[in-house]
Amino acid sequence: MIIVKNISDLNNIISNQSSKTSNIGLVPTMGSLHDGHLALIRDANKKCDIVWVSIFVNPTQFNDLNDYNSYPNELENDIKKIRTISSKIYVFYPSVSEIYNNGVSSEKFNFNDLDKVLEGKHRPGHFNGVATIVKKLFKTIKPLKVFFGEKDFQQTIIVREIINSYFPKITLITCPTIRNNYGLALSSRNKLISKKALNNSGIIFETLLFVKNNFVKTSYKQLKKSVKQKIEDISTFKLDYFEIRESETLNPYDENNKKKSYRAFICVKVEGIRLIDNLLIN
C-alpha cells in the first residue's frame, strides 16, 4: 500500500496512472474509518481499476473549533482497515498546510441556496468548505468515479453541483447508509458519545420510520410535534432540526402534493454531539 503525503508525489503517481487507465476511483474521507466508509471503498474497488482514499480532516468545513479539535484521528487503524480490502489501494494523507498552502480559507460557491437549508443553515460556510476540498481532490486525483454515502445526502447534492459545474466526466456514485444494530447511521462522531447514549440511539432511525409510515395520513405540524416528543423523551437527546424536503432539489415539502419524492432529514444532539440522518419516505 502506498501512502502519499504531499501533492508533488501525488501528481507524479497520478500522471503515471492516468496514462495507463482512465478508470480511477476516489473515496474522500476524514478518516476514523467505520463500516460505512469501508462499504464505499469496497464498491470503488469493484468498479475501478485504481482506487484512491483520501484522509483529511478539513478545517474549512467546521464552524465549531471544538468539533474540529475533537474529531477522531486514527490513521494507523484506518490503514489496517483499508488493507483488509486490498493492499493495492492508494491513500492520500496530506497535512493542512499541504492543502491550504496560501492560508486556510474556503472558496466561495453559488449553490442557489442548496447550502442555506438543513446542515447549511445550522453550519454556515460548511458546504463552501466541503466544496473547496472536493474540488481540490477532483482536480488533482482526476477520478472517473467518486463515492459518497447517502447518510450525508445534502452533501451528495452539493458534490453533484460541483461535478456538473467543473468535472462533467466524473460519475457520482451514492451508496446506501450503513447502520449499527440499533439502526443508528454509522458516523465517526458516534465514538464521541457514551455507551448508554449509543444504546438509546436507535430512536433516531425509529423516528424516521415513524415519519415514513405516517406522513401520508398525518399533518406536517403533527409530525414535527411527534418527532420532537420521541427524540426528547431521552434526557440527553435534543432535536436540532427535523424537516421533510423534496429528494432531488431540497425544495420545501408541499403538503398539498404528496406524490412528489420526499425525504425526511433529522439532526439530533446526543450529549452535545450532532448526529444526522435521513430517509426516503415515499
pLDDT score, position 270: 97
Structure confidence by residue, pLDDT tens digits, 34-65: 999 999 999 999 999 999 999 999 999 998 88
Structure confidence by residue, pLDDT tens digits, 108-137: 999 999 999 999 999 999 999 999 999 999
pLDDT score, position 28: 98
| Mean local confidence (pLDDT), 275-282 | 97
Exposure string (b/e) for 70-90, b if CB count within 10 Å is 16 or more?
A: ebbeeeeebbeebeebeeebb
Return the sign of the alpha-carbon dihedral for residues 124, 127, 128, 132: positive
In degrees rounded to 5, what are phi and psi of residue 208? -65, -40
Strand partners, 179: 185
Strand partners, 253: none
pLDDT score, position 259: 87
CATH number for the domain whose boundaries are 188-280: 3.30.1300.10
Which grid cell is 270?
446526543
Which grid cell is 21?
487507465
Return the sign of the alpha-carbon dihedral for residues 72, 76, 79, 80: negative
Domains of the chain: which residue ranges?
2-175, 188-280
Which grid cell is 69?
479539535
Overall CATH class of domain 2-175: alpha beta
Is the confidence at residue 252, as pLDDT, over 80?
yes
Write the single-letter amino acid at 105. Answer: S
Residue 37 designated active-site: yes
SS3 195: helix
Q: Which of 34, 37, 122, 126 is catalytic?
A: 37
Structure confidence by residue, pLDDT tens digits, 193-243: 999 999 999 999 999 999 999 999 999 999 999 999 999 999 999 999 999
